Amino acid sequence: MRTTKFNDGTSIEKISNPIKWKKSTKGAYCAYDSSEVYVSTYGYLYNWHIATSAIIAPATGGWRVPNEDDWNKLITFVGGSEKAGYKLKANTGWHSGFGDDQYGFFAVPSGINQDGKFTGIGYMVSFWSQTGKDNTSAWCQEMSHTNEMCLKQSRPKHAGLSIRLVRDRK
């Protein structure tokens, strides 16, 4: 995602300060390494509070942030977690271990913002789920350059991760 506004036109807070990022309990976004140069390729990184906002996705068309059930359905559809990363990763842009992007998902290694420290660009991607794990962490799906898997992980809710939307079709 590359949005900087909610679907009602309200601006999402952009936070570059690591201390402020970690303490934020409201929806926020940042560019990797606080540099806009990465946005066109990797999108922005968002905290979990954005992932649970009903107004982050377009107001029309049935778009929303996926929950764990949605991720499980996708991973099962593409053949299970052991090979899902390979089938969903883009075939370029990874340090090593490219995928074949068999389904047009085009997962790129956008890295993460962990406690205000940026890491993993070119090496990994982590996508938020709407589903929380406990008071301080939530579930995400991660892919790495070192293997073909897509694994369910938990990250602190203040971490900066990527978001992919799903669409409900009627």
The predicted pLDDT at position 170 comes to 66
Both tokens of 7, joined, read 């679907």
The predicted pLDDT at position 168 comes to 87
Q: Which of 35, 114, 98, 107 is nearest to 75 (CA)?
A: 107
The rounded average pLDDT for each run of 10 residues, N- to C-terminus, in the chain (170 residues) is 96 94 93 96 97 92 95 96 96 88 95 93 97 97 95 97 90
- Give the predicted TM-score (pTM) of the model: 0.95
Q: Which of 27, 58, 62, 38 is nearest to 157 (CA)?
A: 27
Q: For tokens 């922005």, what's the residue?
A: 44
Q: Taking the domains of the chain in order of start, what are their residue ranges?
A: 13-167
